Amino acid sequence: MISTADFRNGMVIVQDGDLMEIVEFQHVKPGKGGAFVRTKLRNVLTGRVIEKTFRAGERMEEARLEEQPYQFLYSDGDLYHFMHRDTYEQIAVGADVVGDKKNWLRENQAVGLVFYKGKVMELRLPLQVELQVTQCDPGVQGDRSTGGTKSATLETGAVIQVPLFLNEGELVRVDTRTGEYIERAG
């Protein structure tokens, strides 16, 4: 059990049976009445953000999440198969846990799986991934990096905006948090 005095950004607590990550918190001591803590909480499963106020000193359960190193093997429809990098144990994770992160997953990629009480709660990707452009309009002489952008389809099926000078078959570095093109890779 933890107190509101122990709150830190990124900490995960159990609130009404849900896992909630503390995004932001503020201790408030009004001139009249008791102190309280105003927070923004993000539901770990759904990503929904709510605001909640706690009385100062209120106690709640801290969720102990454990991240383990895994390697993505393959997908067969609604299941994504991963292998533990140390024990070689394989696990299948549902599409509901993977969500939109499937756009940045490619075979043999190192990822982290976050467990809570033995159940996979979240897939953590590296901040950047290198993916190959499989389809886009060809670049034309005179296209520059400061010019416009065009749509490009990546090997995972994701569609992003890239500079005009990029061609099919090139590797690009993509930010997995925003899905934006960073730079040409390799």
In this prediction, residues 65-71 reach a mean pLDDT of 90
Q: d(Cα 109, Cα 151) in Å, to the nearest integer? A: 24
Assigned fold of 2-62: SH3 type barrels. (2.30.30)
pLDDT at residue 117, rounded to an integer: 85
Assigned fold of 128-185: OB fold (Dihydrolipoamide Acetyltransferase, E2P) (2.40.50)
Are 79 and 98 contacting, i.e. CB atoms less than 8 angstroms apart? no
Are 19 and 7 contacting, i.e. CB atoms less than 8 angstroms apart? no
User: What is the model's pTM?
Assistant: 0.72
Are 121 and 45 contacting, i.e. CB atoms less than 8 angstroms apart? yes
CATH architecture observed for domain 66-124: Beta Barrel (2.40)
Fold match between domain 2-62 and domain 66-124? no
pLDDT bucket at 145, cuts 50 / 70 / 90: low
Name the pairing type of β-strands 2-3 and 59-62: antiparallel
In this prediction, residues 48-75 reach a mean pLDDT of 89
pLDDT at residue 146, rounded to an integer: 60
In this prediction, residues 81-103 reach a mean pLDDT of 89
Domain-by-domain residue ranges, the chain?
Answer: 2-62, 66-124, 128-185
pLDDT bucket at 141, cuts 50 / 70 / 90: low
pLDDT bucket at 95, cuts 50 / 70 / 90: confident
